[in-house]
């Protein structure tokens, strides 16, 4: 019954992907954007990426799903998604490339490996209290903050 199990698993993946696509469609509609195949696929790729991706990497992934895709479509799509803050642009240290990540709209900090670019999310906000007291002392109205710690991940350290 291996064939049957494989079929079920494939169906499960397809079903999950369809639910994802529905989520991206809703997200695009909510922000007043038209649903285009390129936008949905780019969101799908970024949403499933384990670390922020450069435009050319996104393009390589996209080409596997959509062979007719071109790099300028990827750039145009990213610009549009950036403007609506559906994706965020980050630059990793020692890397001039702009990288893009799906905006999960949750407050998060990361540990970033400078060897393999692996990004490890940090649970909770370690500087929330500090930021608040610092701002109130300076009479500063905070709009947000970012904190990333750069270093070498456990896996790269072993190599």
By CB under 5 A, name the binding residues for Zn ion.
113, 115-116, 118, 125, 153, 156
Q: How far is the CB of 97 from Zn ion (least distance, A)?
A: 17
Nearer to Zn ion, 82 or 125 (CB): 125
b or e along 81-112 (b: 16 or more beta carbons within 10 Å of the residue's beta carbon)?
A: beeeebbbebebeeeeeebbbbeeeeeebbeb
Q: How many CB atoms lie within 10 A of CB 42?
A: 29
Q: Which is nearer to Zn ion, 85 or 128 (CB)?
A: 128
Query: Looking at residue 119, what DSSP letter applies?
Result: E
With CA atoms as reference, report the closest residue to 92 among 110, 76, 79.
110
Our CB check for Zn ion shows the closer of 64 and 94 to be: 94
- Between 18 and 116, CB nearer to Zn ion: 116
DSSP secondary structure code for residue 127 in this structure: T
CA–chain centroid gap for 99, Å, is: 9
Q: Which two tokens stand for residue 112?
A: 């970033």
How far is it, in rounded angstroms, from Cα 112 to Cα 95? 12
Which element (helix H / strand E) includes 41? helix 37-47
44 or 110, CB closer to Zn ion? 110
């Amino acid at each position: 019954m291996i064939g049957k199990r494989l079929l079920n698993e494939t169906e499960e993946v397809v079903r999950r992907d369809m639910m994802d696509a529905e989520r991206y469609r809703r997200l695009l509609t909510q922000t007043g954007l038209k649903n285009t195949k390129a936008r949905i696929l780019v969101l799908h790729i970024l949403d499933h990426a384990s670390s922020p991706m450069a435009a050319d990497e996104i393009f390589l992934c996209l080409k596997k799903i959509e062979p007719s895709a071109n790099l300028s479509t990827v750039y145009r799509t990213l610009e549009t998604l950036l403007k609506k803050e559906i994706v965020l642009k980050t630059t990793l240290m020692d890397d001039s490339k702009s990288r893009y990540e799906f905006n999960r709209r949750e407050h998060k900090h990361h540990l970033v490996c400078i060897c393999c670019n692996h990004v490890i999310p940090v649970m909770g906000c370690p500087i929330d209290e500090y930021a608040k007291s610092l701002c109130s002392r300076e009479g500063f109205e905070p709009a947000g903050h970012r904190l990333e710690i750069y270093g070498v991940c456990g896996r790269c350290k072993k190599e």
